[in-house]
Structure 1
Amino acid sequence: MPTPRLAPLVPMVAALILGVVAPAWAATALTPAVHHDLDVTLDPAAGTLEVTDRVSLPPGVREFRLLPGLTLREASAAGRPLPARRDGGRLTLTVPEGAGEVTIRYGGTLPDFGRERSIGAAVGAEGAFLPGLSGWLPSTGGETGGEPPSWRLSVRVPAPFAAVATGRLVKEVREAGTYRAVFEETRGVEEPSLFAGPWTVTERMHGALRLRLYGHPGQEALAGDYLDLTGRAIDGYAARIGAYPFDGFSIVSVPPPVGLGFPGLTALGRSVLPLPFVRGQSLTHEVLHNWWGNGVRVGEGGNWAEGLTTYLADHAAAEDRDPAAGRAMRLDWLRDYAALPAERDSRLTDFRGKTHDASQIVGYGKAAMLFHMLRAEVGADAFDAGLRGFWSAHAFQEAGWTDLRRAFETAAKRDLGGFFAQWLDRRGAPALTLADARAEGNAVRLTLRQEADRPYALSVPVAVETPAGTERHHLRLDGREASATLRTAARPLAVTVDPDFALFRRLGAGEAPPILRDVTLDPGTAVIVAATGEAATAAKALADRLVDGKAGNAGAGSPALLVGTDEAVAAALAGRGLPPVPESLAGRGSARVWTARPAGGAPLLVVSGADAAALQALLRPLPHYGRQSWLVFDGARAADRGVWPVGDSPLRRILAEP
């Protein structure tokens, strides 16, 4: 999920409660050059916004982003009008020397949720969604060399609405059918984000931290679990990294179906908030972004924050549940990469944020694997020391991959330049081959090869099964081939290379059964519609949603997407000499989705629905199941799903009978 930046600092009392000494940056943060003092009147149901912004600005020509629907009513300094120009969504002011505080007064009608399809400023009867940098206020984050502003925001909304913004809650009052609150941010974090809704607000103090859930009607029962998990997550991450850098954390229900992290706040779609995976994975991910991405801002050289947060939150939560769940998550990342066409691969240093599935596979999955390999390379203690050092040195500042590398080098007391360079600056991944494996008494003679444009320097995990149990070894592979003799305590029965998917690599045949992304990610995918009338229209719309890129024409070796109604799909499969719907899926649900890889052919994805309504119901949910091999839908609900069984791994060899 995309994350903006960060917010105020936890007081010393909170740091002591969390068992962490206040960091050096608590006393040394710089005061931003730009400061907003905002007086906001917002009526979500009417769609109106009125703002008076008293802002301190350096002299010169200043450009801002401001939504075209908002009318500039005044731009002045010391009571005198300032030269101002509007050009669509751009506002340009000329600020004279010695102008002091500038007043910008503006207002108008905001987009409603029915018209606003992107994640931008929008309002409606269910509330208001006004993220920073969306143009609802004059955006100044880039006006002083990239240093974000400080700000104070006073907001009024009519009953039954309440409002919440990023920043520290200074005060709030309900009176005469109006809710009024004041928020502030004294450090350079980011422009304020503002939300409103007809919420029930549940609060819990966690030491000195204010935890809140702003829930729409009917969501009150969710508060206990959400606030419990938030408190535990903050304590755990603070103990591992450093003091929590905010005064609290708010979970805010918003109308659009999103999951977004902001400084000290996460905005979750009203329909998303009750889903189990949000509590099981997404919430802790957003809490951790308060250190990575919001706390230490992403600087030049690529976005490291999503991969680090994915590894320390999502992957760590899976490992805590069961080591097998962590292994399964790493295998998912490698399956995703196996589905990524070579022309859509990219370097980690090119990743800025998720714009499509292909960028997520690299920026989240590959980056998370980098940190998993780094932890194995330097050891758990040095890895955690590197995290603490990176946070202490760069909190409330921008930092990049180079700063991360230096922090881990300091902690590990060794040069890691080669390790980082091979994973950050190169496209692609190594492919391993088990060239030879034979038992020699209580030992295994092993030869490994790697395929890559240039050999990677790898520490390859190897598991040797014996009658006394499984032994773990590592084989150093720094060139195209390496051989070693691995001594064992008992007679070796079998050997497996990288059994837990600890290396970022290309999966071998049998390790990667076909999944939806094998087809949806390929820009050369051929689309075949097997339907007529309304069903054909629904099928074409679904194909457009599924194919992540511009679909090409059918050709030899091209993946194919076949989508349509049951009878027409069956006829199309038979006409092409392809197998029918798998027996395990036949006759189930309103729609069935499955992948296949015909012998010697390209992957095939089939979507078969009972009628136009069954296909239409898949428009929103199906694109989110790219890691699956098959699914059964009842309407828009995935009633069953799974991944086809893996075949025999080419990296496993039986050496002897038990």
Structure 2
Amino acid sequence: MLRLPLPPWKTGWRQKAALSLFELFLLTAFCLITNAAPAAETKADYQLLAAFDLPAHLLKATATITLAPGAATVVRLDGLRVTAVELDGVEVKAGGPTLTIAASAAERRLIIHYRKEVSSMADGLIEKAGIDLSDNWYPQLDFPALFHLQAIIPANFLAVSEADSISTEAVPNSRLVTFKFSRPLTYLHFVAGPYVKREVAFGGGKSLYTYFFPEDAELAADYLRKGKAYIRRYEKLIGPYPYQRFSIVENRLPTGYAMPTFTLLGQAVVRLPFIVDTSLGHEILHSWFGNAIGVDYSQGNWCEGLTTYLADQSFAAERGQGALFRKGQLIKFAAVNRELGGTIEEFKGGEASPNPRRIARRAVGYGKASMLFHMLRRKVGDRVFFAALRDFYRRMDGKTASWRDIEQSFKNAGGSGLQSFFKQWLTQKDVPDLKAEDISLKEANGRLRLKFTIAQSNKVPYKIEVPVVITNDFGQRRETVNLTSKSKKVELT
């Protein structure tokens, strides 16, 4: 390997005094994109150039972060081997997992050169079969930034990250991929591999893509057809698709993630025949709820329950299995420890894990929360329900939202008397525990009179509408009882 002298402006840095041609190209290419100032709506403009040594499972990268005046941050460096740091043209020593940058009245520029060796699947993937970087692969700020990512990848690879547009140009024995995205991000993801790319337009100059491995390329047509149908479905229900593109990307690792502008599905998952009819719609729906509208986790994660209701539960209902799906949700909730599960408002994340606490929390954050939206829709009707969702998307697109914002949208759409509804379902750990007592059936003046008491044993009683079904030799009769206290006497003739 030819080695070149270190440029004079680098001689004060604590790093080896020579660069390979590969590393020199990385530095000079990066200089082309480091002159942008922070966008007005963000605290930081984040330029990142990454390159890879696949046989060594190694990422080599340079981050240039321009902080707006008055912006301070603590930069996380977990899992990174930092080789040099410069702040406003002065060398800085970085020896720990974090780097604190104080605010300044003037704009500040932080440059970090670093490496990361991916030695296990827990860290991601860097090898000839593909690249997957999701966690701890770049210096991370403690607030969203406007990212400008460039990556040097093998000539036979294609790459995907959060982007409005992806462009590629040939460089010696490689490709330089540039990602442009107009929205600030809290986290950045990157995946690359020997993909076969397919594309279909879905209106407004926007496109849907698949990035599948050659051995699974024949699956692309079905994913494109169903993916386009899901986008149209949710545009009709909620509002315009928020980005310029959406990509369905196959991964060597067993993942099932939804990020702004793409979903990352494990190879084993992609091959399952039912995924296009179930999980794919769920992940696409996160484009609106969870990505375009972020989650204010300090007040609970609303998006998994809403997405489960509008995707998984709705798909089951359309197959004639709505009652069976809801029963399954209730069984999952009944099987877990209520104290471990907590309340809907306390639910933060959606990790899939065999840990009993996380299983309990998923039963609450996905299952019980989806039932909340089911009850809410029945309470206010379809017109108000979907008008509220459209209002929620229109008001909160590009922002983080809480349950309070959802409640406000239902109020805006004409829903009334919902304060107690949201309060009880968000803050109580249990569900209504009901029973019928003191049942009597008597005849008077030639008419049957049914009397009974509906009682709930909950410590804090729910205010709910209880469906009652009475069955006799002539058929069934359905009534609804408005229960607002521990018990209520009911009389039917």
Same fold (TM over 0.5): yes
- Are 2:312 and 1:310 aligned? no
Corresponding residue for 2:106? 98
Alignment of 1:224-623 (within 5 A): 224-299=221-296, 300-322=298-320, 325-355=321-351, 356-435=358-437, 436=439, 438=441, 441=447, 445-465=451-471, 470-486=476-492
Q: Quick check: 2:76–2:98 contact (8 Å CA) kept in 1?
A: yes
- Are 2:81 and 1:70 aligned? yes
- Are 2:37 and 1:42 aligned? no
1:84 alignment partner, SS class: coil
Q: Distance in 1 between matches of 2:274 and 2:442?
A: 45
Using structure 2 for the length normalisation, give the TM-score.
0.84
Deviations 1:572-605 (A, max 9, x none): xxxxxxxxxxxxxxxxxxxxxxxxxxxxxxxxxx
Greater Cα shift, 431-440 or 243-252:
431-440
Corresponding residue for 2:20? none
Quickly say closer, same or farther: Cα 1:135–1:341, change in 2 above 3 A: closer
Corresponding residue for 2:21? none
Q: Quick check: 1:31–1:187 contact (8 Å CA) kept in 2?
A: no
Quickly say closer, same or farther: Cα 1:186–1:295, change in 2 above 3 A: same
Q: Distance in 1 between matches of 2:431 and 2:212?
A: 44
Q: Quick check: 2:165–2:181 contact (8 Å CA) kept in 1?
A: no
Q: Quick check: 1:422–1:456 contact (8 Å CA) kept in 2?
A: yes
* Displacement of 1:344: 2.0
Quickly say closer, same or farther: Cα 1:216–1:437, change in 2 above 3 A: farther
1:153 alignment partner, SS class: strand
Deviations 1:398-443 (A, max 9, x none): 1111111111122234131111111111111111112226486577
Corresponding residue for 1:53? 63
Quickly say closer, same or farther: Cα 1:60–1:287, change in 2 above 3 A: closer
Q: Quick check: 2:80–2:137 contact (8 Å CA) kept in 1?
A: no
1:427 alignment partner, SS class: coil
The amino acid that maps onto 2:416 is R
Quickly say closer, same or farther: Cα 1:41–1:432, change in 2 above 3 A: same
Corresponding residue for 2:126? 123
The amino acid that maps onto 1:266 is T
Deviations 1:230-250 (A, max 9, x none): 111111111111111011111
Greater Cα shift, 48-57 or 305-314:
48-57
* Displacement of 1:251: 1.0
1:110 pairs with one of 117, 120, 139: 117
The amino acid that maps onto 1:304 is W
* Displacement of 1:286: 0.7
Q: Quick check: 2:442–2:448 contact (8 Å CA) kept in 1?
A: yes
The amino acid that maps onto 1:63 is V
The amino acid that maps onto 1:180 is L
- Are 2:141 and 1:135 aligned? no
Using structure 1 for the length normalisation, give the TM-score.
0.63
The amino acid that maps onto 1:50 is K
* Displacement of 1:378: 1.2
Q: Distance in 2 between matches of 1:286 and 1:337?
A: 23
* Displacement of 1:464: 3.7
- Structure (1 or 2) with the greater helix fraction: 2
Quickly say closer, same or farther: Cα 1:128–1:442, change in 2 above 3 A: farther
Q: Distance in 2 between matches of 1:232 and 1:373?
A: 27
* Displacement of 1:451: 1.4
The amino acid that maps onto 2:149 is L
The amino acid that maps onto 2:76 is R
Quickly say closer, same or farther: Cα 1:96–1:84, change in 2 above 3 A: farther
Q: Distance in 1 between matches of 2:104 and 2:491?
A: 76
Corresponding residue for 2:35? none
Q: Distance in 2 between matches of 1:442 and 1:230?
A: 56
The amino acid that maps onto 2:174 is T
* Displacement of 1:444: 5.1
Q: Distance in 2 between matches of 1:320 and 1:447?
A: 36
Q: Distance in 2 between matches of 1:269 and 1:353?
A: 20
1:219 alignment partner, SS class: helix
Q: Quick check: 2:201–2:208 contact (8 Å CA) kept in 1?
A: yes
Q: Quick check: 1:43–1:158 contact (8 Å CA) kept in 2?
A: no
* Displacement of 1:109: 3.7
* Displacement of 1:95: 7.0
Q: Distance in 2 between matches of 1:283 and 1:195?
A: 18
Structure 2 unaligned blocks of 5 or more = 1-38, 352-357
The amino acid that maps onto 2:294 is R
Q: Quick check: 1:86–1:92 contact (8 Å CA) kept in 2?
A: no
Q: Quick check: 2:301–2:365 contact (8 Å CA) kept in 1?
A: yes
Q: Quick check: 2:85–2:93 contact (8 Å CA) kept in 1?
A: no
Q: Distance in 1 between matches of 2:72 and 2:483?
A: 58
* Displacement of 1:213: 1.1
Corresponding residue for 1:507? none
Corresponding residue for 1:186? 182
Quickly say closer, same or farther: Cα 1:97–1:447, change in 2 above 3 A: closer
* Displacement of 1:486: 4.6
Quickly say closer, same or farther: Cα 1:75–1:443, change in 2 above 3 A: farther
The amino acid that maps onto 2:99 is L
Q: Quick check: 1:464–1:470 contact (8 Å CA) kept in 2?
A: yes
The amino acid that maps onto 2:364 is V
Q: Distance in 1 between matches of 2:229 and 2:252?
A: 27
The amino acid that maps onto 1:150 is L
Q: Distance in 2 between matches of 1:189 and 1:103?
A: 19
Quickly say closer, same or farther: Cα 1:54–1:399, change in 2 above 3 A: same
Corresponding residue for 1:534? none
The amino acid that maps onto 2:465 is S
Q: Quick check: 2:65–2:110 contact (8 Å CA) kept in 1?
A: yes
Quickly say closer, same or farther: Cα 1:417–1:42, change in 2 above 3 A: same
Q: Distance in 2 between matches of 1:455 and 1:185?
A: 49
Quickly say closer, same or farther: Cα 1:97–1:421, change in 2 above 3 A: closer
Q: Distance in 2 between matches of 1:129 and 1:361?
A: 29
Q: Distance in 1 between matches of 2:385 and 2:448?
A: 34
Greater Cα shift, 285-294 or 35-44:
35-44
* Displacement of 1:481: 1.9
The amino acid that maps onto 1:104 is I
Q: Distance in 1 between matches of 2:291 and 2:98?
A: 26
Overall identity of the aligned pairs, in %: 31
The amino acid that maps onto 2:125 is A
2:378 alignment partner, SS class: helix
2:214 alignment partner, SS class: coil
Greater Cα shift, 349-358 or 443-452:
443-452
Corresponding residue for 2:34? none
1:365 alignment partner, SS class: helix
Q: Distance in 2 between matches of 1:259 and 1:483?
A: 49
Q: What RMSD over aligned residues (CA atoms) do the two structures have, in Å?
A: 2.4
Q: Quick check: 2:463–2:484 contact (8 Å CA) kept in 1?
A: yes
Q: Quick check: 2:116–2:137 contact (8 Å CA) kept in 1?
A: no
Quickly say closer, same or farther: Cα 1:472–1:174, change in 2 above 3 A: farther
* Displacement of 1:104: 2.4
